[in-house]
């Protein structure tokens, strides 16, 4: 879930998804666009929230953690 704490409507950011192995080292990385996350509106209402979903297939057997960062490309 992505929360907009602003009093302004904001466009949907992209997400930088980083998958790590048991040692904390980067195993895979991918940038997900709003379209890939099925963002219905492309924006988040003032003081609103958006539930984002993306289908991923992970073929790296050692993935044990992740980090997600929202950003505007």
pTM for the predicted model, two decimal places: 0.79
pLDDT value of residue 35: 81
d(CA 51, CA 41): 11
Question: In degrees, to the nearest 5, what angle opens at C-alpha 38 toward C-alphas 59 and 32?
Answer: 50
> Which residues fall within 8 angstroms of residue 19, CB to CB, at 6 or more apart?
26, 27, 28, 29, 58, 60, 63, 65, 66
pLDDT value of residue 40: 67
The low-confidence residues of the chain, meaning pLDDT below 50, are none
pLDDT value of residue 38: 73
């Amino acid at each position: 879930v992505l929360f907009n704490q602003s009093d302004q409507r904001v466009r949907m950011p992209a997400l930088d998804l980083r998958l790590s192995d048991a040692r904390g080292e980067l195993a895979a990385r991918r940038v997900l666009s709003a379209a890939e996350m099925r963002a219905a509106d492309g924006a988040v209402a003032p003081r609103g929230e958006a539930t984002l979903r993306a289908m991923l297939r992970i073929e790296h057997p050692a993935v044990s953690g992740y980090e997600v960062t929202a950003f505007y490309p």
